[in-house]
Amino acid sequence: MAKKIPIDFYRCDDVVQIASDLIGKDLYTCIGGKICAGTIVETEAYRGPEDRASHAFNNRRTPLNEMMYSAGGKVYMYICYGIHDMLNIVTGTEGSSHAILIRAIEPHTGIEYMRERRNLFNNDRRLCQGPGSLAKAMGLNKSHNGADILSDMIWIEDSGKSYSADEINSSARIGLNFEGPYKLIPWRFYLKGNIYVSRSYL
């Protein structure tokens, strides 16, 4: 029987390695008594404070990103473009401000609830394809900022699946609007050939 991934996994300082290691793990939520889950197939690593793409770049600290400075194992939610909730997992030691964006999962549990939340009933491939869609389908929003990733509301389990380095692709992260080396650094990870990965980026 699968078990929740222990806290030590999230406290490792190598956020890039954790982002890769999360591929194949199962993300669960239990919101309003509705259990939903799917296998993580796409992630992005953000390594603050030196990472130009991180919300904690240059040690920037505000009420909105304060959760990033927690010890690994907390949920960091933010809203993109004023519309889309985005699920991030804080990693590393307290103050390190590393986080991993969960970009896509392959849904396998509670799909009927995901369809209702997305109002999407004829294309399960799209239910959790991209971080905004994923958060909505899983019932997550900014009110879940600061949740414990080992809670009974949101957690990650080891599915028992393992993938070789050849099966996990890496690329530049999506949608960065600045120039410089961090725009192209290959800190996005995704399962090769998986149809649930963000469309147009396979």
* Within a domain: 187: yes
Average pLDDT over residues 160-171: 92
* Within a domain: 62: yes
Average pLDDT over residues 38-64: 97
* Within a domain: 151: yes
The set of residues, in sequence order, having a beta carbon less than 8 Å from that of 152 and lying 6+ positions away, is: 30
Looking at residue 46, what is its pLDDT?
A: 98
Structural domain tally of the chain? 1
Of all residues in the chain, the percent with pLDDT exceeding 90 is: 92
Task: Give the rounded distance of the alpha carbon of 166 from its chain centre.
Answer: 21
* Within a domain: 159: yes
The pTM score is 0.96
Structure tokens at 107: 């849904």
Residues 61 and 69: beta-carbon distance below 8 Å: yes
* Within a domain: 201: no
> What is the dihedral sign for C-alpha 41, 145, 30, 159?
positive
Cα dist. 16→79, 91, 121, 187, 202 in Å? 23, 10, 35, 6, 20
pLDDT digits (tens, 9 = 90+) for 9-24: 999 999 999 999 999 9
Of all residues in the chain, the percent with pLDDT exceeding 70 is: 98
DSSP string over 139-196: T--GGGTT-BTBSSSEEEE--S----GGGEEEEPPTT--S-SHHHH---EEEETT-TT
Structure tokens at 182: 């961090």
* Within a domain: 93: yes
* Within a domain: 198: no
Give residue 93's domain range.
7-191
* Within a domain: 2: no
CATH value at residue 39: 3.10.300.10
Helix (H, G, I), strand (E, B) or coil at 118: helix
| Mean pLDDT, the chain, whole residue set | 95
